[in-house]
């Protein structure tokens, strides 16, 4: 993919620390960050808000046919995780026994390598989740 460094670098606060946004006008939390609150638009006031790192599995799948960059990992589990503040994030579920990965299972965030851009390219890190 030949990713440029800034493409990875500019997302570090979100991907390493799950730093999202919150609208002070309506109180809605957002992840990833938004520059405009879709509910309040110009009336909204967006500030940084750290997301909780715990949640539950809202839905999941085991991926057997991977896109480029993930071929080595198949099969792997992906989940829609509902964080404790109600915000949902799509993420891999790792280091968890397959029979524990089910809807409603409690999970917490872990920091992992996500992908690498070839042997000499940029390595991207970020969040994954693990069943508690």
Of residues 16-35, which lie at the interface with another protein (CB under 8 A)? Answer: 32
71, 99, 119, 120: which one binds another protein (CB under 8 A): 71
Please identify, using beta-carbon distances, which residue of 23 and 87 lies nearer to another protein.
Answer: 87
29, 60, 110, 116: which one binds another protein (CB under 8 A): 60
Q: What is the largest CA-CA distance in the chain?
A: 47
Contact 46, 22 (CB under 8 A): yes
5, 47, 68, 120: which one binds another protein (CB under 8 A): 68
Instruction: Single out the segment in contact with another protein by CB under 8 A; choices: 21-29, 41-49, 83-91.
Output: 83-91
Please identify, using beta-carbon distances, which residue of 24 and 61 lies nearer to another protein.
Answer: 61
How many helices (DSSP H) and strands (DSSP E) are in the chain? 2, 8
What is the spatial distance between Cα 51 and Cα 67, in angstroms, rounded to a whole number?
Answer: 28
Cβ-Cβ contacts under 8 Å for 127 (sequence gap 6 or more)? 15, 16, 18, 89, 91, 109, 110, 111, 112
Residue 11 interacts with another protein (CB under 8 A): yes or no: yes
> What region does 39 belong to: left with phi over 0, alpha with psi -120 to 50, or beta?
alpha
Contact footprint for another protein (CB under 8 A): 11, 32, 58-68, 70-71, 73, 75-76, 78-80, 87-92, 103, 114-115, 124, 126, 128
């Amino acid at each position: 993919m030949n990713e440029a460094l800034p493409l990875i670098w500019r997302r570090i606060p979100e991907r390493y620390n799950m730093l999202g946004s919150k609208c002070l006008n309506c109180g809605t939390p957002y992840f990833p960050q938004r520059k405009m609150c879709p509910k309040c638009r110009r009336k909204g006031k967006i500030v940084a808000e750290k997301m909780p790192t715990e949640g539950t599995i809202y839905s999941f799948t085991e991926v057997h046919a991977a896109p480029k960059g993930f071929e080595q990992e198949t099969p792997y589990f992906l989940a829609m995780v509902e964080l404790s503040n109600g915000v949902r994030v799509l993420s891999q579920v790792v280091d968890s026994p397959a029979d524990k990965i089910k809807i409603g299972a409690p999970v917490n965030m872990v920091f992992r390598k996500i992908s690498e851009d070839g042997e000499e390219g940029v390595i991207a890190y970020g969040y994954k989740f693990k069943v508690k």
